[in-house]
């Protein structure tokens, strides 16, 4: 598909993407790189980050790898300081690192629940907090990758529902506090997006995929490009008046209720 955005929107800018080594977050990072930004990728697995950086560079983009667990604040601070020292103020921070596994609440260990809360909520706070002093003011944006679980109860997703609700409230609170400084904060909430780890876990069979597409208002999965283009738009000058919003990009899935995805 030809690029719907005609101009290179982020020439000379810096974007930091947590969880940027794969999936939706990698595609978001690639889109910012395609539009001229240097993208700093944060993730736990060095090999994944190195492969992503290599691929972005081979397409003519600028990228760097920063292995780090978003749950560790001191390391996150060191990464943000590094990025700032080499690239200047951060224009875009995408908090995409997340954890998920389907499990009924009654069989979930307290530690399993905590692992997801720590990655999603604490990890998002850590990234935003560690980046704060280095964000361009005015003019930067924090994009938190959320999920429909934030406002629709899903069976087998007690941890993710609690975590993403927390992420969306963090979005709103930070938008309120940081708006006067010219820092916008939004959530982007993807529905069922093809070719992602989340979908492979939640919809592992042809049968479960068909159940989802048959029920979806738009009768299809989304693509990683759908989410990346929304992030590009909202971070661009065209999105300048949007803050504190939870932007759904879900093919209408949130209109259906939580059982659709899991067939219960």
Q: Pick from 78, 103, 249, 262: which binds ligand COA (CB under 6 A)?
A: 103
109 binds ligand COA (CB under 6 A): yes
DSSP 114-162: HHHHIIIIIHHHHHHHHHHTTB-TTT-EEEEE--GGGTS--TT-HHHHH
Are the beta carbons of 248 and 88 closer than 8 angstroms? no
Are the beta carbons of 160 and 100 closer than 8 angstroms? yes
101 binds ligand COA (CB under 6 A): yes
Residue closest to ligand COA when measured from CB atoms: 99
For the bound state, the minimum distance from the C-beta of residue 191 to ligand COA, rounded and expressed in Å, comes to 12
115 binds ligand COA (CB under 6 A): yes
Q: Pick from 36, 67, 88, 112: which binds ligand COA (CB under 6 A)?
A: 112
For the bound state, the minimum distance from the C-beta of residue 47 to ligand COA, rounded and expressed in Å, comes to 15
- Cβ burial, residue 81 (10 Å; 0-12/13-18/19+): middle
161 binds ligand COA (CB under 6 A): no
Closer CB to ligand COA, 21 or 251, in the complex: 21
- Two tokens, residue 219: 């009768």
- Two tokens, residue 1: 């598909």
- Residues in contact with ligand COA, counted by CB under 6 A, come to a total of 13
Residues that bind ligand COA (CB under 6 A): 98-101, 103, 109, 111-112, 115-116, 119, 197-198
């Amino acid at each position: 598909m030809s690029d719907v955005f005609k101009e290179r929107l982020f020439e000379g800018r810096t974007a930091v993407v947590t969880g940027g080594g794969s999936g939706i977050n990698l595609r978001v990072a690639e889109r910012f790189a395609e539009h001229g930004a240097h993208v700093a990728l944060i993730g736990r697995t060095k090999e994944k980050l190195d492969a992503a950086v290599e691929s972005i560079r081979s397409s003519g983009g600028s990228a760097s790898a920063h292995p780090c667990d978003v749950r560790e604040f001191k390391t996150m601070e060191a990464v943000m300081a590094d990025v700032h020292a080499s690239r200047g103020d951060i224009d875009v921070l995408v908090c995409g690192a997340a954890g998920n596994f389907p499990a009924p609440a009654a069989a979930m260990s307290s530690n399993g629940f905590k692992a997801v809360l720590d990655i999603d909520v604490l990890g998002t706070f850590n990234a935003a907090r560690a980046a704060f002093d280095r964000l361009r003011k005015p003019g930067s944006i924090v994009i938190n990758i959320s999920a429909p679980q934030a406002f629709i109860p899903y069976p087998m997703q007690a941890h993710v529902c609690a975590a993403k609700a927390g992420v969306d409230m963090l979005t709103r609170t930070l938008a309120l506090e940081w708006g006067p400084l010219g820092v916008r904060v939004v959530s982007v909430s993807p529905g069922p997006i093809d070719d992602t780890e989340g979908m492979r876990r939640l919809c592992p069979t042809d049968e479960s995929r068909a159940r989802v597409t048959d029920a979806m208002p738009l009768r299809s999965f989304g693509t990683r490009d759908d989410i990346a283009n929304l992030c590009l738009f909202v971070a661009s000058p065209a999105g300048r008046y949007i803050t504190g919003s939870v932007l759904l990009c879900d093919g209408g899935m949130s209109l259906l209720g939580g059982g659709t995805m899991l067939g219960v």
